[in-house]
């Protein structure tokens, strides 16, 4: 271990350690890449039993904010007429029931399982209609035209969610979330109902086929590998500049230090 | 060695060249040219090698790239874009990425090399600035360097704009918007440059010629001039034992420096190839083709344009309308002022320094940054100014990744851009002074040995070893500035005419700034006999282990 | 190569006392043994420890061999690897990039490390002191030069013959203008082009990307937005750069209608230019909770309820509003062009209409 002792005494050892640490942090950070997981929500016909069960669940978990009859309170909006699609989106992404009301309610692990979610949605739908949960076929990425979807995505979605669906900043601490975890159903429901700050794209403006095209584009893009190496979070040139300075310049300067360093001399008194 | 004749084949070649060009006589002295060794002297080389890589990979890319804005329908191997209308430029870039073997690699290496080119130019420039290596006789080379830097920024911006993807088109749109806002001639410049409306059909072909021919040609000429001047004037060296203004110590060009430079070229290429392989840059297929009605979150330029972008973002929305004409301060100020401040300031600095200090001497010994606190502090002020603008250019990514309010980041930068540089100036000056004091301390009292000794009275002290001659030479190697003649007063106490008036006062104040913070490091080490040759001799054999355990030698030998 | 001591006495001195001076230049070795730069004839350099030299030579050779192998690998990958030519799979592109890129990296790393070991451990060249040459010429040279210069000027007659001198200057004056003149045909004059878009009375709004026209009933969801363009401009990028419009459905009761714009909206459906008035990015982020329109480039923020008034950021002017109406078939149309130029400001633009 003598060489370590010798090296760390060198004038540049401090810089080298800092650079190496920065490089490692940079690489490690870049290594955290988006992952995909898909949950499939089953859309089944709502029965009276579902509605009753849903009402029960609603009273336990939602009524304190949304009111006993979902008429809304000063803390939360009325749910009359928001439709099953909206409930399914909010509950299945874990946003509802909300824990605390910050600038924006984040996605988290869902509290209710698929069946319970469907029951609450059925109850809310029974109060005043609204958009329904899309069918499996409506959101099947395999049937979507990804090229058309890409075009629509760039014209209507990328300004907030970024070119690869990596998300982006909005005002006042709000943000457009990354689309890495959203299921096809959730993407469809989000476009249809416009949760939180997101605007609404109803079925007469963007037809169901066009929505399916966007879903196809989003799901293909997020699952497609990065042919050029690590995607650096797919956030564009900011990450690239960081990598260039920390990793690129860092490594080359370490090489320069090695080339110009004095040979560590051993004692020779022969 | 010199008496031996070279092998026949080599001799033949040397003879051939010599009889025609007189090469042996010409090269005889050149082969032994000495280059001082220090890692920071190699930063400029990174830029040179990145430039060579850019030329090579760029040539490769031109073989397939079609600089045309004509519309085509994509029908290649990237299924997600099949059937999409796009320009031929974008189409051919996709083709290079997916249909040409090694094309993606070359594209990525080209782009990474561009990032490294500007980054290394920046750090090289900072090294030259902070060590005062721009001083006489190297002012002209400093100016050439600034020219290279400016052209490199332009070249990068143009290259970024060529593939005609959504990000590059957005960059062009911003460039066009800035162009349009220039008073009086803006709209004319815009219509001439774009050949009509934006985006039109002419701009990318025109940009291409400028990017692959005009600017690289000028860059090549300037790089040549920069290097020839460097060769002719010789490289600076840091202060050290035996080092003087009149000499240069190091290994000769042939064979040592030549191979070192070659190895470093290979390292640079290796790192850039590594990035090109493992870090995806500018994934144009994800951005999609440019259309002026689309935009993506996180629309950013490459990092070296980031400071302009940042300035645009934090500027308040001032615009004036006078006599039917509009002046957009909200665009003009950020587009011109930061770049103008930094580049003009840098260009004038060597001359300002000469004027203020009256120092017209030739300098071949580089300053250690701490020994020129005013210069170092001003440099750090500029670095902070640039750095804050750079960060401001990524404020949306900062807001998104760190969950802070977007407007809060803007407000932060609006204030920080004025406060930050002031803090940087003062902190840097303090640090420089502290380091100077420490140097003086080492010269006078030696270095801490790490050995704790207990005195007979029970007190613990740390043994100080005298600084080595070499170390002392480094520490005392600063060159005090000469007195400025204008400070002279005549017998009646009236300052000379040149010291009066606003310019004279400015010069006097600047001179004070340059000279005031100087802690003399040498001059009184009498009374410390531990630097005698005897001590040095004694220390030598133990000089292997600098660690704490080896430190006991100083005591045991005495 | 037979002696065992690798260095000469003075050079071992450098590892002496701990060096606390971070960032100092490398230490120079003892004075006495530094050969100065003569014309040949100096000693032929260090003697190497043969055992270590052998080791270093092997190490360097190992890295050069690595480069050779990587070079072969590159050729093999290029030629034999199925490659991605003819395949529509992005995975192939990725594999190819990794295979070629890794071998290329190893090629250069091998060379670099091998050469560094060579230069650091096998070269016997000593450090030398070289005198710097005076850069300025001797005074005598300067005198002679000055003399020649003046003599030449005299002999040429240029100093004595003002007519010659002045006419020469006159002759070259227009030459400087020619290149600028030749650039005139780069583009047309701007004229009034920046003041108009292709919107006119009766132009239908069609959805960007799909080309479908819209009825107010199609766009009836509160909080809805969509990017629309003039019918017929779908593939005209020049037109899209000026005429793209953001169609927003805001609550009619919250809309602050400006004077003179009373019938520019259709039941809360309003249209603003999507081209930011700052430097022209599409201002397209719409938050339906706050009704703010945000430009993602420089974060100018506009209030959709209040005539797209600027509420934050560097943009100085509101987004121009497009007057909307409904045609006989019930589709949304523009009732005129924008009443002011869209996009970034320019010199001739003049005061915006309030």
The tens digit of pLDDT for each residue in B522-541 reads 554 433 444 444 433 333 33
Region B399-413: mean pLDDT is: 88
Contact assessment for residue A204 and residue C212, using Cβ atoms and an 8 Å cutoff:
no
Q: Which two tokens stand for residue B409?
A: 């980041």
pLDDT at C222: 85
Enumerate residues 151 to 180 of chain C having a beta carbon within 8 A of any beta carbon in chain B.
Answer: none
Q: Are strands B320-322 and B325-327 parallel, antiparallel or unpaired?
A: antiparallel
Contact call for C13 and B316, based on CB within 8 A: no
How much is the mean pLDDT over chain B?
A: 86
> Hey, how many other C-beta atoms are within 10 angstroms of the C-beta on A231?
21
Contact call for A158 and B296, based on CB within 8 A: yes
Percent of chain B with pLDDT over 90: 53
Select from C15, C112, C186 the Cβ nearest to the Cβ of B195: C186
pLDDT at C88: 56
Contact call for A159 and B166, based on CB within 8 A: no
Residue A26 has pLDDT above 60, yes or no: no
Contact call for A175 and B299, based on CB within 8 A: no
Q: What is the ipTM of this complex?
A: 0.84
Q: Are strands C301-303 and B320-322 parallel, antiparallel or unpaired?
A: unpaired
Contact call for A152 and C210, based on CB within 8 A: yes
Chain A residues with CB-CB distance to C296 below 8 A? 159-160, 168
Chain C residues with CB-CB distance to B278 below 8 A? 101
Residue A28 has pLDDT above 70, yes or no: no
Contact call for A148 and C209, based on CB within 8 A: yes
Contact call for A205 and C207, based on CB within 8 A: yes
pLDDT at B454: 86
Chain A: closest CA distance from residue C138 (Å):
36
pLDDT at B485: 63
Distance in angstroms (rounded) separating the CA atoms of residues C195 and C336? 13
> Hey, how many other C-beta atoms are within 10 angstroms of the C-beta on B56?
14
Select from A14, A156, A197 the Cβ nearest to the Cβ of C226: A156
pLDDT band at residue B145 using 50, 70 and 90 as cut-offs = very high
Bigger pLDDT: A192 vs B451: A192
How much is the mean pLDDT over chain A?
A: 82
Select from B2, B267, B470 the Cβ nearest to the Cβ of C14: B470
pLDDT band at residue A79 using 50, 70 and 90 as cut-offs = confident
Chain B: closest CA distance from residue C103 (Å):
9
Region B149-153: mean pLDDT is: 95
Range with the largest mean pLDDT of A64-68, B277-281, B465-469, C32-36: B277-281
Chain C residues with CB-CB distance to B237 below 8 A? 25
Q: What is the 3-state secondary structure (H, E, C) of chain C?
A: CCCCCCCCHHHHHHHCCCCCCCCCCCCCCCCCCCCECCCCCCCCCCCCCHHHHHHHHHHHHHHHHHHHHHHHHHHHHHHCCCCCCCCCCHHHHHHHHHHHHHHHHHHHHHHHHHHHHHHHHHCCCCCEEEECCCCCCCHHHHHHHHHHHHHHHHHHCCCCCHHHHHHHHHHHCHHHHHHHHHCHHHCCCCCCHHHCCCCCCCCEEEECCCCCECCCCCCCCCCEEEEEEECCCCCCHHHHHHHCEEEEECCHHHCCCCCCCCCCCECCEEEEECECCCCCCECCEEECCCCEEECCCCCCEEEHHHCCEEEECCCCCCCCECCEEECCCCCEEECCCCCCCCCCCCHHHCCCCC
Enumerate residues 32 to 91 of chain A having a beta carbon within 8 A of any beta carbon in chain B.
Answer: none
Contact call for C15 and A6, based on CB within 8 A: yes
pTM of the predicted structure, to 2 decimals: 0.86
The tens digit of pLDDT for each residue in B74-125 reads 998 888 899 999 999 999 999 999 888 899 999 999 999 999 999 999 999 9
Q: Which helix (H) or strand (E) holds A5?
A: helix A2-8
Contact call for A162 and B97, based on CB within 8 A: no
User: Which of B37, B39, B237, B539 should be substituted to probe chain A, the one whose Cβ sees the most A Cβ atoms within 10 Å?
Assistant: B39
User: Which of B175, B197, B314 should be substituted to probe chain C, the one whose Cβ sees the most C Cβ atoms within 10 Å?
Assistant: B197
Select from C91, C209, C218 the Cβ nearest to the Cβ of A204: C218
Q: Which two tokens stand for residue B438?
A: 């420490």
The tens digit of pLDDT for each residue in B216-269 reads 999 999 999 999 999 999 899 988 888 888 889 888 888 899 999 999 999 999
User: Phi, psi (5° rounding) for residue B302?
Assistant: -65, 160
Closest CA in chain C for residue B28: C39
Q: Which two tokens stand for residue B246?
A: 């009149």
pLDDT at C176: 85
pLDDT at C324: 94
Contact call for B275 and A247, based on CB within 8 A: yes
Contact call for C90 and A225, based on CB within 8 A: yes
Full strand arrangement of the beta sheet holding C225-230: C205-207, C225-230, C245-249, C269-273
Radius of gyration over every alpha carbon of chain A, rounded to an integer in angstroms: 26
Residue A44 has pLDDT above 70, yes or no: no
pLDDT at A75: 81
pLDDT at B446: 83
pLDDT at C145: 95
pLDDT at C18: 42
Region A28-34: mean pLDDT is: 48
Percent of chain B with pLDDT over 70: 89
Bigger pLDDT: A5 vs C167: C167
Contact call for C209 and A264, based on CB within 8 A: no
Region B207-212: mean pLDDT is: 96
- Residue ranges of the domains in chain B? 44-306
DSSP readout, B431-454? HHHHHHHHHHHHHHH-EEEEEEEE
Chain C residues with CB-CB distance to B364 below 8 A? 132
Q: Quick check: helix, strand or coil at residue B86?
A: strand
The tens digit of pLDDT for each residue in A119-176 reads 898 888 888 878 888 988 888 998 889 999 999 999 899 999 999 998 888 888 888 9
Contact call for C11 and A202, based on CB within 8 A: no
Region B413-420: mean pLDDT is: 95
Chain B: closest CA distance from residue C59 (Å):
15
Q: Which two tokens stand for residue C104?
A: 């290329």
The tens digit of pLDDT for each residue in B446-501 reads 888 778 888 888 888 888 888 888 888 888 877 777 777 655 556 666 666 666 67
Ranges of chain C with pLDDT below 70: 1-44, 81-88, 351-354
Chain A: closest CA distance from residue B113 (Å):
9
Enumerate residues 292 to 331 of chain C having a beta carbon within 8 A of any beta carbon in chain B.
Answer: 296-300, 310, 312-317
Contact call for B295 and C102, based on CB within 8 A: no
Distance in angstroms (rounded) separating the CA atoms of residues C269 and C228? 12
Distance in angstroms (rounded) separating the CA atoms of residues B208 and B213? 8
Enumerate residues 217 to 236 of chain A having a beta carbon within 8 A of any beta carbon in chain B.
Answer: 217, 220-221, 224, 226-232, 234-236
The tens digit of pLDDT for each residue in B503-523 reads 888 888 888 888 877 777 655
The tens digit of pLDDT for each residue in C226-275 reads 999 999 888 889 999 999 999 999 988 889 988 889 889 998 999 999 99
Contact call for B177 and C105, based on CB within 8 A: no
Select from B281, B304, B404 the Cβ nearest to the Cβ of A228: B281
Contact call for B266 and C299, based on CB within 8 A: no
pLDDT band at residue A248 using 50, 70 and 90 as cut-offs = very high
Chain C: closest CA distance from residue A41 (Å):
25
Full strand arrangement of the beta sheet holding C128-131: B34-35, B247-252, C128-131
Chain C residues with CB-CB distance to B30 below 8 A? none
Enumerate residues 263 to 282 of chain C having a beta carbon within 8 A of any beta carbon in chain B.
Answer: 274-275, 278-282
User: For residue B240, with 0-12 CB atoms within 10 Å meaning exposed, 13-18 middle and 19 or more buried, which class applies?
Assistant: buried
Contact call for C28 and B262, based on CB within 8 A: no
Chain C residues with CB-CB distance to A260 below 8 A? 26
Residue B19 has pLDDT above 60, yes or no: yes
User: Which of C29, C123, C312, C346 should be substituted to probe chain B, the one whose Cβ sees the most B Cβ atoms within 10 Å?
Assistant: C346
Closest CA in chain C for residue A209: C210
Q: Quick check: helix, strand or coil at residue A176?
A: strand
Between the alpha carbon of residue B246 and those of residues B139, B228, B358, B481, B507, the distances in Å are: 19, 20, 21, 18, 30
Chain B: closest CA distance from residue C335 (Å):
22
pLDDT at C40: 43
* Tokens 């004059």, located at residue: C189
The tens digit of pLDDT for each residue in B257-273 reads 999 999 999 999 999 99
Percent of chain A with pLDDT over 90: 27
- Cα angle for residues B254, B255, B257 (degrees, 5° grid): 80
CATH class of B44-306: mainly alpha
Contact call for A9 and B546, based on CB within 8 A: yes
């Amino acid at each position: 271990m003598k060489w370590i002792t010798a090296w760390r005494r060198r004038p540049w050892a401090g810089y080298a350690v800092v650079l190496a640490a920065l490089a490692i942090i940079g690489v490690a950070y870049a290594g955290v890449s988006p992952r995909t997981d898909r949950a499939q929500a089953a859309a089944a016909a709502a029965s009276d039993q579902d509605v009753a069960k849903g009402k029960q669940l609603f009273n336990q978990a939602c009524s304190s904010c949304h009111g006993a009859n979902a008429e809304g309170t000063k803390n939360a909006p009325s749910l009359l007429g928001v439709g099953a699609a909206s409930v399914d989106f909010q509950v299945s992404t874990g946003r509802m029931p909300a824990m605390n009301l910050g600038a924006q309610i984040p996605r988290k692990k869902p509290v209710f399982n698929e069946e319970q979610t469907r029951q609450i949605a059925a109850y809310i739908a029974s109060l005043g209609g609204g958009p329904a949960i899309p069918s499996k076929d409506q959101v099947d990425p395999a049937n979507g035209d990804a090229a058309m979807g890409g075009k629509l995505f760039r014209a209507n979605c990328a300004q907030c969610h970024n070119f690869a669906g990596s998300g982006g900043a909005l005002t006042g601490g709000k943000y457009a979330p990354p689309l890495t975890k959203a299921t096809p159903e959730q993407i469809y429901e989000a476009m249809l109902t416009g949760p939180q700050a997101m605007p609404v794209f109803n079925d007469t403006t963007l037809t169901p086929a066009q929505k399916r095209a966007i879903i196809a584009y989003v799901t293909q893009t997020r699952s497609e590998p990065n042919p050029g190496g690590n995607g650096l979070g797919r956030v564009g040139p900011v990450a690239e500049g960081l990598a260039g300075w920390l990793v690129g310049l860092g490594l080359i300067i370490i090489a320069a230090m090695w080339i110009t360093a004095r040979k560590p001399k051993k004692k020779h008194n022969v | 060695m010199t008496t031996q004749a070279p092998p026949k084949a080599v001799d033949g070649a040397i003879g051939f060249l010599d009889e025609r060009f007189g090469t042996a006589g010409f090269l005889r002295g050149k082969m032994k040219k000495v280059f001082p060794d220090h890692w920071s002297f190699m930063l400029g080389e990174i830029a040179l090698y990145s430039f060579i890589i850019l030329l090579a990979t760029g040539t490769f890319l031109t073989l397939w790239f079609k600089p045309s804005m004509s519309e085509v329908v994509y029908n290649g191997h990237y299924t997600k874009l099949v059937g999409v209308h796009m320009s031929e430029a974008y189409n051919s870039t996709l083709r290079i990425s997916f249909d040409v073997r090694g094309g993606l690699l070359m594209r990525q290496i080209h782009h990474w090399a561009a990032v490294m080119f500007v980054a290394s130019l920046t750090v090289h420039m900072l090294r030259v600035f902070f060590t005062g290596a721009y001083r006489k006789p190297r002012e002209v080379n400093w100016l050439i360097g600034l020219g290279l830097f400016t052209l490199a920024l332009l070249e990068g911006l143009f290259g970024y704009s060529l593939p005609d993807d959504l990000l590059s088109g957005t960059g062009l749109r911003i460039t066009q918007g800035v162009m349009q806002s220039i008073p009086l001639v803006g709209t004319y410049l815009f219509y001439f440059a774009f050949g009509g409306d934006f985006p039109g059909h002419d701009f990318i072909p025109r940009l291409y010629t400028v990017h692959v021919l005009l600017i690289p040609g000028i860059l090549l000429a300037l790089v040549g001039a920069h290097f020839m001047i460097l060769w002719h004037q010789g490289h600076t060296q840091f202060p050290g034992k035996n080092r003087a203004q009149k000499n240069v110590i190091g290994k000769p060009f042939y064979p040592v420096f030549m191979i070192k430079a070659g190895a470093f070229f290979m390292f640079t290429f290796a790192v850039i190839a590594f990035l090109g392989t493992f870090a995806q840059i500018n994934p144009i297929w994800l951005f999609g083709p440019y259309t002026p009605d689309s935009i993506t979150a996180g629309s950013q330029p490459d990092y070296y344009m980031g400071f302009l972008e940042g300035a645009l973002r934090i500027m308040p929305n001032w615009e004036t309308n006078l006599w039917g004409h509009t002046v957009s301060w909200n665009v003009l100020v950020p587009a011109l002022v930061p770049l103008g401040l930094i580049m003009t300031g840098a260009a004038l600095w060597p001359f300002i320094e000469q004027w203020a200090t009256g120092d017209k001497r030739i300098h071949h010994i580089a300053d250690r940054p701490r020994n020129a606190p005013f210069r170092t502090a001003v440099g750090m002020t500029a670095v902070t100014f640039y750095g804050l603008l750079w960060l401001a250019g990524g404020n949306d990514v900062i807001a998104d990744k760190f969950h802070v309010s977007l407007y809060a980041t803007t407000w932060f930068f609006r204030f920080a851009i004025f406060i930050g540089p002031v803090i940087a100036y003062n902190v840097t000056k303090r640090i420089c002074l502290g380091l100077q004091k420490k140097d003086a301390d080492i010269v006078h009292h030696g270095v801490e040995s790490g050995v704790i000794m207990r005195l007979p009275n029970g007190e613990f002290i740390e043994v100080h070893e005298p600084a080595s001659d070499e170390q002392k030479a480094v520490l005392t190697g600063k060159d005090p500035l000469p007195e400025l003649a204008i400070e002279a007063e005549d017998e009646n106490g009236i300052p000379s005419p040149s010291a009066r008036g606003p310019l004279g006062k400015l010069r006097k104040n600047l001179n004070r700034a340059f000279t005031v913070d100087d802690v003399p490091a040498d001059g009184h080490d009498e009374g410390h006999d531990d630097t005698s040759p005897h001590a040095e001799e004694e220390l030598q054999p133990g000089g292997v282990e600098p660690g704490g355990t080896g430190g006991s030698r100083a005591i045991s030998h005495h | 190569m037979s002696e065992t001591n690798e260095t000469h006495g003075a050079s071992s001195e450098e590892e002496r006392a701990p060096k606390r001076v971070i960032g100092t230049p490398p230490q120079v070795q003892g004075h006495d043994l530094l050969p100065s730069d003569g014309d040949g004839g100096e000693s032929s350099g260090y003697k190497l420890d043969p055992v270590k030299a052998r080791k270093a030579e092997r190490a360097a050779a190992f890295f050069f061999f690595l480069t050779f192998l990587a070079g072969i690998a590159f050729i093999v990958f290029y030629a034999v690897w199925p490659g991605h030519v003819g395949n529509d799979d992005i995975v192939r592109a990725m594999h190819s990039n990794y295979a070629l890129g890794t071998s290329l990296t190893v090629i250069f790393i091998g060379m670099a490390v091998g050469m560094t070991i060579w230069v650091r451990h096998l070269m016997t060249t000593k450090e030398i002191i070289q005198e710097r040459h005076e850069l300025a010429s001797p005074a005598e040279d300067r005198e002679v030069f000055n003399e020649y210069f003046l003599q030449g000027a005299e002999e040429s007659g240029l100093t004595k013959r003002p007519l010659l001198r002045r006419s020469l200057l006159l002759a070259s004056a227009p030459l400087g203008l020619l290149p600028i003149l030749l650039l005139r045909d780069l583009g047309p004059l701007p004229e009034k082009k920046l003041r108009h878009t292709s919107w006119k009375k009766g132009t239908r709004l069609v959805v960007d990307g799909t080309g479908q026209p819209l009825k107010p009933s199609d766009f009836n969801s509160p909080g809805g937005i969509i990017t629309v363009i003039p019918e017929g401009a779908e593939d005209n990028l020049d037109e899209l750069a000026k005429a793209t419009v953001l169609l927003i459905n805001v609550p009619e009761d919250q809309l602050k209608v400006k004077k003179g714009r009373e019938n520019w909206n259709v039941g809360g459906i309003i249209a603003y230019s999507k081209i930011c008035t700052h430097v022209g990015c599409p201002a397209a982020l719409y938050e339906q909770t706050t009704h703010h329109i945000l430009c993602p480039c420089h974060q100018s923020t506009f209030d959709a309820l209040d005539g797209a008034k600027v509420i934050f950021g560097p943009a100085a002017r509101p987004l121009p509003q497009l007057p909307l109406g409904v045609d006989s078939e019930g589709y949304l149309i523009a009732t005129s062009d924008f009443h002011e130029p869209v996009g970034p400001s320019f010199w001739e633009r003049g005061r915006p209409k309030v």
